[in-house]
Structure 1
């Protein structure tokens, strides 16, 4: 079993956080030792809850600014990272890239320490560059490509994402396509005979309406406004749109689209309640302009929701061939205005799409498949390191 130093985020909540926590927990369950290095301004030495022992599993690095999108470390963070790695002496470093300046320093640091370096590269994209947001994300890929070319392996979530990086100069043999995965036992269709606390809260707040759900950040790139405009135009009788999440546009959109058939749930930290929301939903809608591979989409699919998403990032690839309904990132409101009445009226169609969505997750996107692929990548790198040492 290997000792993995995992560099990532534990807050604020986002897909990167979910990916890091679920992956490290799964690796530990399989017998690996993981040390989680993350940005969190440490307390004064007298108040610290973690020690400086070599087996300390949690290391905090100081930061100046931290958001869901990027992190600006404090001036001493690089030194503390190096000292932590020297103390921990991991077999391998895995960086779930936090979009911070340290991402560019890691190749030199790990080369000096003689430790293999793996990255998971999360930033969303739209290979078609069909909007301003996609063009901005393309600049992120262009900025990162020279640094990623120096990592031993770069994990991406789809063939499309690998093609983008390969065109920007990252050698194909350094790219590993390992899609996100979810636990299909946790994220599963609800049992009608079971009433969990989360399920009870959901029904008390939402009543008996048929639920259409969005769950994610409320930000420009997620294009939630297009969904809200379509919902207002259609206003499907007997249905409720539930918007779960927070972000910079929440207040603006809530003020503009706060009618009676839209419920603004807000950010939800409780896992059982998030699962209950997915189980209560009949349809899940993700209208993003750019994406990576949405964990929320995979969670909804695993829960048996009929899923509608744009073809941004890898989401269209996930839903193709009948596992869901794929929209273009252009003209989302118009497409949804046509589609929402169909999903309202054709309950048999929604149920069949939900069944196919769960089948697709079981076939390709389980957490166990994801972890097995990561373990195989680790083993390959560690064998190469051993042979070179010999």
Structure 2
């Protein structure tokens, strides 16, 4: 799971000094399936300065696809089903109370200095348990737009309560910040905007690309487009299939690799490709741990999602030197500069998606120039080192004895 240019950090047996002068950070996450938040935390804990910070993870469900990866880097405590990744039921107050009590007991036993929660359920239940236990610093993380709250007005109220109990609200883009302001009660002094970060991904030469493609059963010299996102309906995979049908005649050897776990829409995506007569152009390898290698072997990255807070997948593609075609939604324009590092198109518009794909695949020089510009942008503005340093500074600003307001 380690990426090029990153240093693997093993979990220390114990701290030193007054608990080693380390700050103990307890991350709370509903599950540890492959996803943006989970990948972000995994990258963060790999590179945290272990002389200053001692991390641990509390999750309400074990057995996720990243479970063993997390256990390699930090202690993991599971308070729910240890075998399967089950979400916390949204409308079961009894389970919510049980979860709060279990979290409080863990915080009592571990005595964290800071509790840092991710995703909606943890952003509500985690702060309650942390304040009950008297934890010094509480951070909630907002990483997506508020579309999931549509039809559920109580979610905004509950997340506002979590915000109220926190010392900091960490957002990963200006778009997410605006969305939180629009949909939840907020305290502006608490906001910390810290962009996701990505490590360097060194380019391969032609021989390495062809060798990798051969091992994967991919055409060695034809064009390859990659999409990395779990198969939720809102991720827009069907739009990409429709766009692929539109450009099939112009690029007869173009192959698409769609990486991600099935979250409900994989079968519909396959069926659409079959009905349009282009299923043989697609590969569906599921979840992969070697995404940087796949990106290095590709020519174009396509991200047709209808909503996005700030995409780790886009940043990885930029770091790999790929031009990006993405929808003009959420935080995507903060990453992709239209006409410079890729193309931005309206969501739910296969016609314009097809035009952008055709424009870049039909012009190797433009593709290379945009890929190089994106790589520079990723290195200069969205480095993993910068992200980790900013989060470490946030932790130290909330350390016991530091003046914070709630």
Instruction: Tell me the TM-score range normalised by the shorter chain.
Output: 0.7 to 0.9
Equivalent position SS for 2:252: coil
CA separation of 1:174 and 1:198: change in aligned 2, threshold 3 A = farther
What's the CA shift for 1:228? 0.6
Aligned position for 2:344: 326
- Distance in 1 between residues matched to 2:402 and 2:133, nearest whole Å: 15
- Distance in 1 between residues matched to 2:385 and 2:154, nearest whole Å: 33
CA contact (8 A) 1:279 1:303 kept: yes
CA contact (8 A) 2:254 2:281 kept: no
What's the CA shift for 1:171? 1.2
Q: How does 1:91-240 map to 2 (within 5 A)?
A: 91-97=113-119, 99-100=120-121, 102-115=122-135, 116-125=137-146, 135=150, 141=156, 144-167=159-182, 168-184=184-200, 187-192=201-206, 194=208, 201-202=215-216, 204-235=217-248, 236-240=251-255
Aligned position for 1:2: 23
| CA deviation map 1:134-157 (0-9, x unaligned) | 956998556523422331101111
Equivalent position SS for 1:257: helix
- Distance in 1 between residues matched to 2:209 and 2:343, nearest whole Å: 30
CA separation of 1:224 and 1:349: change in aligned 2, threshold 3 A = same
CA separation of 1:268 and 1:108: change in aligned 2, threshold 3 A = closer
Aligned length: 360
CA separation of 1:367 and 1:196: change in aligned 2, threshold 3 A = farther
Aligned position for 2:8: none
- The answer to whether residue 363 in structure 2 is matched with residue 363 in structure 1 is no
| CA deviation map 1:206-239 (0-9, x unaligned) | 4321101111112211011111101112102332
Equivalent position SS for 1:71: coil
Aligned position for 1:45: none
CA separation of 1:387 and 1:317: change in aligned 2, threshold 3 A = closer
| Unmatched 5+ stretches in structure 2 | 1-21, 69-73, 90-94
- The answer to whether residue 85 in structure 2 is matched with residue 85 in structure 1 is no
What's the CA shift for 1:66? 7.4
CA separation of 1:341 and 1:108: change in aligned 2, threshold 3 A = closer
What's the CA shift for 1:381? 1.2
Aligned position for 1:345: 362
Aligned position for 2:260: 245
Equivalent position SS for 2:399: helix
What's the CA shift for 1:348? 0.5
Q: TM-score, normalization: structure 1?
A: 0.83
Equivalent position SS for 1:237: coil
- Distance in 2 between residues matched to 1:41 and 1:237, nearest whole Å: 44
Equivalent position SS for 1:352: helix
Aligned position for 1:16: 37
| Unmatched 5+ stretches in structure 1 | 43-48, 50-55, 127-132
CA contact (8 A) 2:303 2:314 kept: yes
- Distance in 1 between residues matched to 2:158 and 2:198, nearest whole Å: 30
What's the CA shift for 1:29? 5.0
- Distance in 1 between residues matched to 2:171 and 2:105, nearest whole Å: 29
- The answer to whether residue 278 in structure 2 is matched with residue 262 in structure 1 is no
- Distance in 1 between residues matched to 2:344 and 2:149, nearest whole Å: 18
CA separation of 1:86 and 1:358: change in aligned 2, threshold 3 A = same
Deviates more, 1:105-114 or 1:285-294: 105-114
Equivalent position SS for 2:101: helix
| CA deviation map 1:119-147 (0-9, x unaligned) | 11123357xxxxxx795699855652342
